[in-house]
């Protein structure tokens, strides 16, 4: 295998990893930021930080059972679509 192909493969893998991380973090951030709708359109950052602190902070927040917003669903579907297209393209 030539060096250019190897480098290209490594770059593709790195970009795919970054893409997946971006989509996952966007989905997580949106789900937490939604907070059952109470923070979705809140422009008062101090209020959000205060409420988050009262919940135990970001490292102790329990999101089990929290509904997600339509934006979170879009993030997840973007990831699924990207992976489906990659799979379908590679398996023609």
pTM for this entry = 0.63
Q: Could you tell me which residues come within 8 angstroms of residue 18 by beta carbon, excluding any fewer than 6 positions away?
A: none
Sequence-distant (≥ 6) Cβ neighbours of residue 31 within 8 angstroms: 63, 66, 68, 69, 72
Tell me which residue of 25, 13, 9, 83 sits closest to 91, measured CA to CA.
83
Residue with tokens 């135990």: 56
Average model confidence (pLDDT) for the chain?
A: 82
Identify the band that residue 14 occupies on the pLDDT scale cut at 50, 70 and 90. confident
Give 56-75 pLDDT, tens digit per residue.
Answer: 998 898 888 888 888 888 87
Nearest-5° Cα angle at 78, 84 to 52: 140
């Amino acid at each position: 295998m030539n060096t250019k192909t190897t480098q290209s493969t490594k770059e593709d893998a790195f970009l795919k990893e970054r893409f997946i991380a971006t989509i996952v973090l966007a989905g997580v951030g949106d789900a937490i930021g939604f907070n059952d709708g109470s923070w979705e359109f809140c422009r008062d950052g101090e209020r959000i930080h205060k409420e988050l602190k009262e919940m135990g902070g970001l490292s102790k927040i329990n999101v089990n059972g929290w509904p997600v917003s339509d934006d979170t669903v879009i993030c997840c579907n973007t990831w699924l679509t990207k992976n489906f297209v990659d799979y379908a393209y590679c398996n023609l």
